[in-house]
Chain A
Amino acid sequence: MNTLYFLIQQTMLFSVPLLIVALGGMFSERSGVWNVALEGTMIIGGFSGILFISLMQDKMHGQLLLLFGVLIAALAGVVFMLLHAFASINLQADQTVSGTALNMFAPAFAIFTARMIRGVKQIPFDNTFRMEKVPLLGDIPVIGNMFFQNAYLTTYIGLGILILSSIVLFRTRYGLRLRSCGEHPKAADSVGINVYAMRYSGVLISGALGGIGGIVFVVPTSTEFNATVSGYGFLAIAVMIFGQWIPKKILFASLFFGVMKTLSSAYGAIPFLAAWQIPTYFYKIVPYIVTLIVLAFTSKSSKEPRASGQPYKKGGK
């Protein structure tokens, strides 16, 4: 039973950053801007947040410091995504190219700045954020063991973002307008919706969530930031597509990927898997292969926002 609890706790640590970042990508795409720069956004967010934590950990500690770190990461992500929004909305640039440029920029910038400040590219921090047991909730049998012990505040932030995203996207006027810009910007424009503003908001939300995802990924899994998020930003794109741009489905997709990641890192602890002796690479590759297979079967009837990736020009043909 302890193994099971451990695996579930691990899965949450892998799934939550994917969930947050994929939701970010969803907002951008729903507004009509294809965001391949999630990886770079995560790196910038992780970098800024961890740098803040590392500089401030003498003065603050615990959950408050983590919360501030998350806010800084979100802010950094927003600033970073302004570049993508400007290129793809105002200048109608090729969104994949702009995103690729930002993906190249982020790690180089993080390493450059870290080296200028500290001489080495790593930024260490003290992990004072793990909660042995959440008060009250941690005492619930089974569920408490699974979700409220050895947990991080970030997990609950992630779930909060999920619920909020779902409501905003499908239950508010803003969400409706955002979706219309991703499906048919011209029609949206014709009824007086400011397509540029809506798209900016979509891209900047993805920046905030991407940045948060970056720090949420780093904090539980390491004690230093190494200018990389190990391809999680790209994986989040897969999660988003797997989840068909719908928050609820994105949750399941991120859980699936989280389980696979957990298996690849911890299959030795699971007796029957350890006995099979499947190489660890197998578990690492499976999420990508499954995504490819799912894409092959679903792409023809894909729910991808129709205008995603297409620049919109006010008054254009």
Chain B
Amino acid sequence: MKIRGFFEKESTLSVLGSVCAVISGLLISFIILLFSDSSNALAGFGSILLGGFNGGLKGIGNVIFQAIPIIMTGLAVALAFRTGVFNIGTAGQFIMGAFTAVFIGVKWTFLPAGIHWIAALLGGFIAGAVWAFVPAVLHAHFQVNAVVSAIMMNYVGMYTANYLITNTVYNAAKNQSKAVAATAVAPKAGMNVLFPGSSLNAGIIVVILVVIILQVLISKTVFGYEIKACGMNRQASLYAGISAKKRLVQSFMFSGGLAGLGGALAYLAGDGKCISVVDVLAGDGFTGIAVALLGLNSPVGALLAGLLISYLEVGGFYTQVYKYPVEIIDITIAVIVYFGAFAVLVKGMIRKLLQRKGGKE
């Protein structure tokens, strides 16, 4: 009973840490608004807080819609974190997944309607996994720092995707990828009835399925147990007979696949978005890091954190009414991540205090 109480406190503490990070981020963004134009600061801040609700059901639908890719990259980062590696390569995996999905969406029109979309999603997943294979193997077998190799793969991915787009599915007039065939677009699955006017589609069902699968995988299977063991103590897990290298490569590839799936979902959404051929890394990849941190590296947490960040981003759109640049939201998210970096430490300090008190009693 006592042990259970302790664990409950532990999880409460973790959530508290995230909440603190979010509140600090919001406070600092308010201060920045005050400094830049104090007359509208309150109104601007209000629109950040209430932004997601501005458009009623349509607005909420769009919050969920925009959350889809960042929840996926968040899940990717979270899974890799559990294995003890930092997957900063989600931007590259994301864009390779996006390209592959768009390629299948444009070219493989021989596939029937129901299957075409799913095939494109699978293609995106596989491309992301392949892209993660390089840093995974380099890390497991050649002891290459995974952060560095993943950053390199981000740039290789960005240039490769641009090269492949311009040579296969290029819309030269708009310098972007061609629109995918109607059969490859995500079905609405009744979401247009639930949230009329929004762009929400069956993508969110895929996301929820992935969250459930990951939750089960991490907490109920041998695979999940072994990757967590590797993440907590590589030496101990080796001693216990777990083939750590294999697990590391598998989970890193799975993580990359999730990021690739995110890219596929983002560009098969039927809202007219195409991949622009520019030399800029995919921002959704980096937002995934914020999502994972805020979500405490748990699948359900990433789902909630992704929704929260998307909610803030939609709110940021409305701050433009008060002449504030929309970048205020990126600043807020960055500050949240920064505070999130030492939320773990704050949590540890509180826990120690509690333990000390418990010891005395």
Contact = CB atoms under 8 A, between A and B. Distances in A.
Given A93-B342, A111-B325, A104 B290 contact: yes
B191 interface: no
**Residue among B142, B151, B330 facing the most chain A CB atoms (10 A cut-off):** B151
Interface string B46-70: 0000000000000000000000000
B144 A100 contact: no
Contacts of A12: none
A312 to B, nearest CB: 14
Contacts of A100: 88, 286, 289, 337
Mostly, the B contact residues are helix
A94 B344 contact: yes
A105 interface: yes
Given A96-B88, A97-B293, A101-B335, A295 B142 contact: yes
A292 B94 CA distance: 20
B195 interface: no
A19 interface: no
Interface string B135-179: 000100011110111011111100110110000000000000000
B42 interface: no
Nearest to A237: B148
A146 B134 CA distance: 39
B334 A93 contact: no
Contacts of A284: 159
A91 B280 CA distance: 32
A238 interface: yes
A49 to B, nearest CB: 20
Interface in A285-300: 285, 288-289, 291-292, 295-297, 299-300
Given A91-B342, A104-B330, A108-B330, A231 B163 contact: no
A292 B152 contact: yes
Interface string A159-173: 000000000000000
Nearest to A308: B145
Contacts of B317: none
B333 interface: yes
**Residue among B153, B280, B333, B334 facing the most chain A CB atoms (10 A cut-off):** B334
Contact of B149 (A83, A96, A281, A295): A295
B108 interface: no
Nearest to B331: A108
Contacts of B328: 108, 112
Mostly, the A contact residues are helix
A244 interface: no
Contacts of A103: 286
A191 interface: no
Contacts of B289: 97, 100
Contacts of B86: 96-97
Contacts of A215: none
A5 to B, nearest CB: 28
A291 B340 contact: no
A102 interface: yes
Given A115-B325, A285-B159, A288-B152, A97 B341 contact: yes
**Residue among B138, B162, B280, B337 facing the most chain A CB atoms (10 A cut-off):** B337
A48 interface: no
A79 to B, nearest CB: 15
Interface in B303-361: 325, 327-328, 330-331, 333-335, 337-338, 340-342, 344-345
B271 interface: no
A112 B155 contact: no
Contacts of A109: 327, 331
Contact of B342 (A87, A281, A295): A87
A230 B156 contact: no
Nearest to A86: B342
Contacts of A115: 325, 327
A253 interface: no
B279 interface: yes
Interface string B253-264: 000000000000
B161 to A, nearest CB: 10
B341 A288 contact: no
Contact of A116 (B36, B160, B163, B345): B36
Contact of A241 (B37, B148, B155, B341): B148
A231 B281 contact: yes
Contacts of A241: 145, 148
A271 interface: no
Contacts of B37: 116
B341 A98 contact: yes
Contacts of A104: 286, 290, 330, 333-334, 337
A32 to B, nearest CB: 15
Closest 5 pairs between A and B when the two form their complex, measured CB to CB? A108-B330, A105-B334, A101-B338, A101-B337, A104-B334
Interface of A: 36, 83, 87, 91-94, 96-98, 100-105, 107-109, 111-112, 115-116, 121, 228, 230-231, 234-235, 237-238, 241, 279, 281, 284-285, 288-289, 291-292, 295-297, 299-300, 302, 304
Given A92-B342, A96-B86, A100-B286, 5 more contacts: A97-B293, A97-B337, A104-B286, A288-B152, A296-B142
8 contacts: A36-B147, A87-B338, A94-B344, A97-B337, A108-B331, A109-B331, A228-B280, A292-B156
